[in-house]
Structure 1
Amino acid sequence: MSLPDRESKVRKTRIAIIGVGLAATPHALALNDLREEVDVVGVLGRSRERLESFANLYGFPLAESLESVLGDPCVDAVLVLTPPHTHLDIALQAAAAGKHVLLEKPLDISTQRAERIVQACHDANVRLGVVFQNRFRPAVQRLAGLVHSGALGPLAYAGLDLRWWRPQSYYDEPGRGTYARDGGGVLMTQAIHSLDLLMWLAGDVSSVSGATVTTTLHSMEAEDFASATLNFKSGAAGYLLATTAAFPGFPERIELAGTHGTAVLEGGALRVFFHDGGKHEFDDPSSTGFGAKPMDFSHVAHRELIRDFCAAIRKDRAPAVVGDDGLRVQRLIERITRGRGGDF
Structure 2
Amino acid sequence: MLRVGIIGTGSIAAAHAEAYERFPDECRIVALYDVVEEKAQRRRDELGLDDATAWADLDAMLAEADLDLVSIASPPSSHAELAIRALQAGVNVIVEKPMAPSLEDCDRMIAAAEQSGRILSVVAQNRFRDDMATLKEVLDSGLAGPVSHVQVSSAWWRGLPYYDLWWRGTWESEGGGCTLNHAIHHLDLTLWMLGSPKFVTAVLTNAAHENAEVEDLSVAILQYDRALAEITSSVVHHGEEQAIVVHGRDARVSQPWKVTASKSSANGFPEAGGDPELEARIDALAASHVPLAHQGHSGQIGDVLAAVRDGRAPAIDGHAGRRAVELVTAIYESGIEGRTVALPLDPADPYYRTGTLVSRAPRFYQKTASAGELPGEIIVGGSAEPRTA
Question: 1:124-173: CA deviations, max 9, x gaps?
Answer: 22111011101111101111111223232221122211221100000111
The CA distance in 2 between the partners of 1:153 and 1:312, in whole Å, is: 34
Write 1 or 2 for the structure with the bigger share of strand: 1
Matches within 5 A, 1:28-43: 28-43=17-32
Of 30-39 and 95-104, more deviation after overlay is shown by 30-39
Give 1:50 deviation, angstroms: 2.6
Matched residue, 2:221: 229
* Superposition TM-score, scaled by structure 1 size: 0.86
What's 1:195 paired with?
187
Gaps of 5+ in 1: 1-11, 284-298
**Whole-angstrom CA distance in 1 between matches of 2:208 and 2:95:** 33
Structure 1 counterpart of 2:257, one-letter code = L
Asked if the contact 1:63/1:69 (under 8 Å) is kept, the reply is no
User: Could you say what secondary structure the match of 1:263 adopts?
Assistant: strand
> For the pair shown, which has the larger CA radius of gyration, 1 or 2?
2
For 1:216 and 1:273, how far apart are their aligned partners in 2? 36
CA apart distance, 1:42 = 0.8
Q: CA deviation at 1:217?
A: 4.2
Matched residue of 1:181: which SS? helix
Offset at 1:246?
1.9
2:300 corresponds to 1:305: yes
Which moved further from structure 2: 213-222 or 80-89? 213-222
> What are the residue-to-residue correspondences of 1:29-108 with 2, within 5 Å?
29-60=18-49, 61-64=52-55, 65-72=57-64, 74-108=66-100
Moved more, 52-61 or 195-204: 52-61
Indicate yes or no: 2:247 matched with 1:261: no
Give, as a single letter, the amino acid of the residue that structure 2 aligns with 1:108: A
Matched, 1:25 2:25: no
Identity of aligned residues (%): 30
Residue by residue over 1:201-245, the C-alpha shift from the partner in whole angstroms, topping out at 9 and shown as x without a partner, is 11111101111111144421110010111112x532111111111
- Unaligned regions of 5+ residues in structure 2, if any? 263-274, 288-293, 344-389
2:251 equivalent to 1:251:
no
Deviation at 1:73, TM superposition (A): 7.7
CA contact (8 A) 1:96 1:124 kept: yes
> Displacement of 1:300 after TM fit?
4.1
RMSD: 2.0
Contact 1:158 1:202 in 2 (8 A): no
Could you tell me how far apart the structure 2 residues matched to 1:32 and 1:57 are?
14
* Counterpart contact for 1:30–1:300, Cα < 8 Å: no
Match status 1:184 vs 2:176: yes
**Structure 1 ranges of 4+ moved more than 4 A:** none
Task: State how far apart, in whole Å, the 2-side matches of 1:17 and 1:73 are.
Answer: 12
1:270 paired residue number: 257
Match of 1:330 among 305, 325, 329: 325
SS in 1 for 2:182: helix
Aligned to 1:287: none
Amino acid of the structure 2 residue aligned with 1:313 = V
Show CA shifts across 1:276-298 (max 9, x none): 32242979xxxxxxxxxxxxxxx
Q: In the aligned structure 2, how far is the partner of 1:229 from the partner of 1:120?
A: 33
Aligned to 1:140: 132
